[in-house]
Structure 1
Amino acid sequence: MATTCTCAPPTALAAPWYRRALAQRQGHIGASGIDADVTFTPVDDAAINDRVDAGYRTKYRRYGAG
């Protein structure tokens, strides 16, 4: 099963797990009863990044800034 998940909150950019994931380009994710081997790929498309940012702002807006 191939699935695409685009996600990288701004705070992740400095996180060791995120840097390691991009360096290795592969990993394993387990969430909500799904376990999957995954490939990590940086996205340099501004339109996609803007949509991801908007999704995070919408989802986490209730928690306030910072």
Structure 2
Amino acid sequence: MKRQKRDMYTRAFDRGYKAGVSGRSSEFCPHVSDQSRQAWLSGWREGRSDQWDGLTGISGVHKMRTF
């Protein structure tokens, strides 16, 4: 099994970050459990602040963990 699939909170954070950078609302959080929801919202907040700082597109590539 891949490491990415085992760590649910890191995965939730990454997906929240992607949602925040793309400008989606925090109302669209897909998680119900408290810890997963908190990780998603933390990622969303960081993504939104990066979007406000202009780290979108090619200028924000260094922030992505998938590369």
Could you say which structure has the higher strand fraction? 1
TM-score by length of 2: 0.32
The structure with the largest alpha-carbon Rg is 1
Q: RCO (CA 8 Å, sep 6+): is it higher in 1 or 2? A: 2
Could you say which structure has the higher helix fraction? 2
